[in-house]
């Protein structure tokens, strides 16, 4: 395909978005001020602002970046930002996808850019989507054009550019990381699409429960939100209704709304059921409630915190690795987020559900706290008190203390607890899983502390 045909197709797309185009296409922002989210990239003086403003004013002013790489998950505005550049600047705009284009098409665009620059003084913006799909050789073909500023390259990728893009191109480019869209960002976009003449032009309304379901199924993806909204609106209008009800939206997107209010009773009821299913060792019920929380858009960090608590409260020393697993899972969830975090949460939840159970450590600390709150504290035995300051010896502090490491077995028969609770037993280990070993150990240690020979 000749470069002029690339340009013609791009310009034709820019000039008009037919009524038959998808809602997500019709609602593409025309200016940076219409872009939702990404405020950190669009503030005054930012590289993206400079690129647009310099292009709109012509070639004067300080030089903008010669290559920009936009990195982020799908549906958060990478193509939108490139489209705004094409709308706002006076440059030729050519769009290619690394899925369908190859070196031949890239070279055709670059040759066309050089001719346009030399003959007409018009610069070219090349938007290359999915650049991570280009091989090393294909990415190499972009270097001369970027180096000599024959084109302004705007490349988009959903994969880590430090692994998917060659170093020479990365070093010549400005890397901009796009942030996930929030519910408020998507809500503003939905309201605009409902009211704007380019969108639904007020033809339908969206009640709060349907809006909440739409935000949940969008999962931070603006394109998905508008696609689902368009499907729901089309279904409502076909039935002669002026409202996209929750039932209509569920039918249009073939996805049931999860009856789960993140701020209400359902939030706590389902979370409680998850923990009680783990405690009861029902792995299938555990996965059911976990899936309900995930599908409802629950914060994965909240789920991870609940699992860490369960690891100590319900498993404890019956499986000392359970807490390690839960903590590692929480760290992984914080690093990767949804949707991949669902796998980590499932791994942790399954491990906890199938682990041997013990609440002995939980009961032990609560029993000790109850005694302390009841006033059963008493002074620390003199031989355990701090003896490192001047005058401690005269007070009898630390006198008579037996250093356990000096004795065979490392246990000294001496009193550690205050008189008020001396002889009290708080920790009563079970014989479940690994805690059976602790049960044997604690009895032998208690005998030695009392100066008795351990019972066989």
Res. 261: pLDDT tops 60:
no
Query: Could you give the residue range(s) of every CATH 1.10.8.60 domain in the chain?
Result: 183-253
Specify the higher pLDDT residue, 74 or 370.
Answer: 370
pLDDT average, residue stretch 397-414 = 75
CATH class (in words) of the domain with range 3-177:
alpha beta
Topology at the third CATH level for domain 265-354: Zinc Finger, Delta Prime; domain 3 (1.20.272)
Which residue, among 185, 114, 101, 177, has the nearest Cα to 148 in the 3D structure?
A: 114
Res. 369: pLDDT tops 80:
yes
Query: Could you give the residue range(s) of every CATH 1.20.272.10 domain in the chain?
Result: 265-354
- For residue 279, what is the enclosing H or E element? helix 265-279
Res. 61: pLDDT tops 60:
no
d(Cα 183, Cα 186) in Å, to the nearest integer?
Answer: 5
Q: Scanning the structure block, which residue is given the tokens 């369908």? A: 100
DSSP per-residue letters across 373-389: HTT---PPPGGGS---S
DSSP state of 257: P
CATH, domain range 183-253: 1.10.8.60
Query: Could you give the residue range(s) of every CATH 1.10.3710.10 domain in the chain?
Result: 360-449
Q: What is the pLDDT of residue 304?
A: 93
Which residue, among 165, 246, 182, has the nearest Cα to 218 in the 3D structure?
A: 182
DSSP state of 92: E
Per-residue confidence at 407, pLDDT binned at 50, 70, 90?
Answer: confident
Stretch among 76-90, 140-154, 424-438 having the lowest mean pLDDT: 76-90
Return the CATH number of 360-449, one of 3.40.50.620, 3.40.190.10, 1.10.10.10, 1.10.3710.10.
1.10.3710.10
- For residue 421, what is the enclosing H or E element? none
Res. 250: pLDDT tops 70:
yes
Q: What is the pLDDT of residue 16?
A: 47
- The tokens of 17 are what? 């978005």
């Amino acid at each position: 395909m000749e470069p002029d045909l690339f340009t013609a197709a791009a310009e034709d797309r820019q000039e008009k978005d037919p009524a038959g185009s998808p809602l997500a296409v019709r609602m593409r922002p025309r200016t940076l001020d219409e872009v939702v989210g990404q405020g950190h990239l669009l503030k005054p003086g930012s590289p993206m602002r400079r690129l647009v403003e310099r292009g709109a004013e012509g070639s004067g002013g300080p030089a903008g970046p010669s290559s920009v790489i936009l990195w982020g998950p799908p549906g958060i505005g990478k193509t939108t930002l490139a489209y705004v550049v094409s709308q706002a600047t006076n440059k030729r705009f050519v769009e290619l996808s690394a899925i369908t284009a190859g070196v031949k098409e890239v070279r055709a665009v670059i040759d066309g850019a050089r001719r346009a620059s030399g003959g007409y003084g018009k610069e070219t913006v090349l938007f290359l989507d999915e650049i991570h799909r280009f091989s090393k050789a294909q990415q190499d073909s972009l270097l001369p054009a970027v180096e000599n500023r024959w084109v302004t390259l705007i490349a988009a990728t959903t994969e880590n550019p430090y692994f998917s893009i060659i170093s020479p191109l990365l070093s010549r480019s400005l890397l901009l990381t796009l942030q996930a869209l929030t519910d408020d960002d998507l809500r503003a976009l939905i309201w605009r699409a409902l009211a704007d003449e380019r969108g639904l032009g007020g033809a339908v309304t969206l009640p709060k429960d349907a809006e909440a379901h739409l935000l949940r199924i969008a999962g931070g993806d603006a394109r998905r939100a508008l696609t689902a909204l368009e499907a729901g609106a089309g279904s409502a209008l076909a039935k002669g209704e002026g409202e996209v009800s929750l039932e209509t939206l569920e039918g249009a997107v073939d996805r049931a709304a999860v009856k789960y209010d993140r701020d209400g009773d359902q939030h706590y009821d389902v979370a409680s059921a998850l923990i009680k299913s783990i405690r009861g060792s029902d792995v299938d019920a555990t996965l059911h409630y976990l899936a309900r929380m995930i599908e409802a858009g629950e914060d994965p960090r909240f789920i991870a915190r609940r699992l860490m608590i369960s690891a100590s409260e319900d498993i404890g020393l019956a499986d000392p690795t359970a807490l390690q697993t839960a903590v590692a899972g929480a760290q992984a969830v914080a690093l990767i987020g949804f949707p991949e975090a669902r796998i980590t949460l499932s791994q942790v939840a399954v491990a906890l559900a199938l682990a041997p159970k013990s609440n002995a450590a939980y009961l032990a600390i609560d029993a000790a706290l109850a005694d302390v709150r009841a006033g059963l504290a008493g002074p620390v035995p003199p031989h355990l008190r701090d003896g490192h300051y001047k005058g401690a010896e005269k007070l009898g502090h630390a006198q008579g203390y037996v250093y356990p490491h000096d004795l065979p077995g490392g246990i000294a028969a001496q009193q550690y607890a205050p008189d008020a609770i001396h002889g009290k037993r708080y920790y009563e280990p079970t014989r479940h899983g690994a805690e059976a070993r602790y049960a044997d150990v604690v009895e032998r240690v208690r005998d030695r502390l009392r100066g008795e020979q351990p019972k066989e």
